[in-house]
Amino acid sequence: MGWLLFGAGQLLLGLSMGAENANEMGYWQALTPDELLGRVNATRRSVNRTMAALGALAAGLIVGLIGDRPALIGVVIAFTAAALTAALSPLREAPNRASPHPSGQRDAQAAACHQAPD
């Protein structure tokens, strides 16, 4: 029964990550100026990968010090606090712009790139 629950949890995690990742990336790309997209994405990915590695090390240390059940209870409390913080914060009022550029600026840039040489 344990492996079945684990598999179901992993399936739900995979599905939710796929939906969340596409929405998150679209949001950041809409807000980030075109000339900074590469730098912003590289920085975000570097921080993400670094935190994942440090989190694994910290989790191993904490489980080794206090045991797996208390560590898991602490994680549940931390994730609940994070969810409540996000739900009650101004995050829900974050900018929602269809295009971060003034009207026509992106079209003018695209046209300039595709002009035939004189």
pLDDT for 103 equals 45
- Per cent of the chain over pLDDT 70 is 79
pLDDT for 17 equals 81
Q: Please classify residue 41 by burial: count the beta carbons closer than 10 Å to its beta carbon, then call 0-12 exposed, 13-18 middle and 19+ buried.
A: middle
Query: Where does the pLDDT of residue 97 fall: very low under 50, low under 70, confident under 90, or very high at 90 and above?
Result: low
Higher-confidence residue of 33 and 113: namely 33
pLDDT one-digit tens code per residue, 25-66? 888 888 889 999 999 999 999 998 999 999 999 999 999 999
- pTM for this structure? 0.56
Domain range annotation of the chain = 1-31, 36-87
